[in-house]
Amino acid sequence: MTQPTIVDSHCHLDFPDFDEERPAVIQRALDAGVERMVTICTRLRLEPQVRAIAEKFAPVFYAAGTHPMSAAEEPLASVDELVALAAHPKFVGIGETGLDYHYTAESMDIQQQSLRVHIAAARETKLPLIIHARAADDDMARILAEEYANGAYTCVMHCFSSSAALAAKALDLGFYLSMSGIAAFPKSKELRDIFTSAPIDRILVETDSPYLAPPPHRGKRNEPAYAAFTAKIGAEAFGMDYVDFARQTTENFDRLFWKARA
């Protein structure tokens, strides 16, 4: 029987952690059944390097935006700039963007401004918005809803580890929740319960590598191949066969990230 295939919907293959063995990392992902990967650019000035990785490796697609923790250090993106980048055939999402008040609360105003620019670009391009949310649940829920009222857009709450209330708001808007290695940690039952209370057709899987490796690699460098460990925990949490969970989350990915369909 062939191995079920899944997608790593969010990784950072341009990070120096992978410089010495990028082709091997991508091959290990394929060997583990991770058939496609979306590598995320977090500072727009680095977009050419991220694009080059997607152009070099067939299974790799990319997205670009200004990470909220970098929003105060980087020039404010424009809608036109993001829309122009989206013309590339392997550019499949807008972001990551969002709000992070855990480390960078002092820049909340510019983070919110940047987030709204990215939402406008997602609305215009019909590409999914990729959201990073940390310690900013109330503002995040408010801005996502305010902007949705101005015009629909699609969105994934990447590496979701926020409150049940923010999950409910995102799901109400038709958005998706993505499981990272955090959801596979033994002590994350409460987080898994948030995921399993969501419709299964709104769940994605990711690594956020090189960060947040799931068990049995916790504490080590993460890589796209390890998405399979998180997906197996996800299947258990949902009470599904791994084959069915893999198929469903891949269908979900293809629906949301329509430019990266197999």
Q: Tell me the HSE value of 154 on the side-chain side, using a 13 A CA sphere.
A: 15
| Phi and psi torsions of 248, nearest 5° | -65, -45
Q: Which residues are annotated as a binding site?
A: 10, 12, 96, 132, 158, 208
Q: Which residues are annotated as a binding site for a divalent metal cation?
A: 10, 12, 96, 132, 158, 208
DSSP H or E run through 25: helix 22-31
Q: Encoding tokens for residue 255?
A: 């629906």
Cis-peptide, bond into residue 210, ω within 30° of zero:
yes
DSSP 219: T
Q: Give whole-number Cα distances, 108 to 115, 123, 128, 189, in Å.
A: 10, 22, 23, 30
Residue 38: name the closest of 16, 18, 57 by CA: 57
DSSP H or E run through 253: helix 242-256
DSSP H or E run through 10: strand 6-11
C-alpha span between 227 and 39 (Å, rounded): 13
